[in-house]
Amino acid sequence: MAAGCVRVAGAEADPAGCTLSIGTYSLKGIPLEDAVRAVAGIGFDGIEIAVQPGFEGEPSRLPEPRRKALRKLLGDEHLKLTALMEQITPAAEQARHTADLDRLRRVFALAHDLGMQSRPLIQTVLGGGQWEERKGLFRDRLGDWLSVARDAEGVIAIKPHRGGAMSRPSEAIWLIQQLGDSPRLRMVYDYSHYAFRDMLLEETIQTALPYTAHIAVKDAVQEGDRVTFALPGARGTIDYVTILRLFFRGGYRGDVCCEVSSMVSSQKGYDPIAAAKTCYTNMARAFAAAGLNRQGARDAEKR
């Protein structure tokens, strides 16, 4: 199974913990090198780099010398590269599908160049539409994506999204099982996409845990008939302590990544560094309340 969803005997007594990270999706416009220094300085254990077009981590923006320098910087700052964030929608058109496969190959190559030698993880949503109409296309295209992941010895983690055709853990699991339950194809757990949908937190964790390779955290807020997103812990709508405890007891030893929604980052006066500090404070408190160790936390004194 992929890193992050391996069940560990005696898990509650295991001193190893999860990493706490934040994604550069929240730091758009900040040079990647500056983002790495800022994230490390705040105290995070890891960083997820947004690699979709328009972001600093897009592979075309990172020639070989810059990749080598970034890899060294990550090591110097004792910061683990936990994932790369993509946003690829499976395409019906063959030409675009072929281009998407090339795009995935470039992202996996970047992951290796930046030092993700142990099962590089790329996470992505799959786009909108209706599940029953799109699931066949998703399965077929993901089959080819999976071949790319196998060649790269990496993992693709698909993320159910409340606004997407794939919006529930059970739907991600259907795709994974249709494609042979490969350890190279897993899912992202993000309760903000299940909240206020008659989907109990404990039940979604029980369903998703065996297939989860990555956890994203942010608050969801009900505003009339609309759900909006907020910084993790800012509105107190999601029980992160329970999420951490249940995943840890189930053997999860992967990353817990703070995600700042574009609903937040697009607001006038948005301060990305202040937002990152708020995310860290709130989630570090949740780790402590859950009684869990963090991988890399002992390295924080070196920063």
Q: What is the pLDDT of residues 16-36, one digit of tens each?
A: 789 999 999 999 889 999 999
Give the pLDDT score at 299.
Answer: 46
pLDDT at 118: 74
Kindly list the distances between the CA atom of residue 119 and the CA atoms of 40, 213, 254, 262, in Å, as whole numbers in the listed order.
Answer: 22, 11, 12, 28
How far apart CA 178 and CA 191 sit, in angstroms, is 24
- How much of the chain, in percent, has pLDDT values that exceed 90? 87
The set of residues, in sequence order, having a beta carbon less than 8 Å from that of 247 and lying 6+ positions away, is 18, 189, 205, 209, 212, 215
Over residues 187-235, the pLDDT tens digits come to 999 999 999 999 999 999 999 999 999 999 999 999 998 999 999 999 9
Q: Which CATH class is domain 11-298?
A: alpha beta
Q: What is the pLDDT of residue 128?
A: 96
The pLDDT of residue 119 is above 90? no
Asked whether the predicted pLDDT for residue 179 surpasses 60, the reply is yes
The alpha helices in the chain, defined as continuous H runs, are: 32-42, 64-76, 94-113, 131-152, 169-178, 201-208, 240-249, 262-265, 272-290
Instruction: Map residue 249 onto helix, strand or coil.
Output: helix
In this prediction, residue 6 carries a pLDDT of 39
Q: Is the pLDDT of residue 4 over 60?
A: no
0.85 surpassed by pTM: yes
User: Is the pLDDT reported for residue 102 higher than 90?
Assistant: yes
Instruction: Please give the average per-residue pLDDT across 148-167, as a whole number.
Output: 97
DSSP labels for 28-97?
A: TTS-HHHHHHHHHHHT-SEEEEE-STTSTT-GGG--HHHHHHHHHHHHHTT-EEEEEE------SSHHHH
Indicate whether 297 pLDDT > 80: no
Pairing of β 255-258 and β 155-158: unpaired
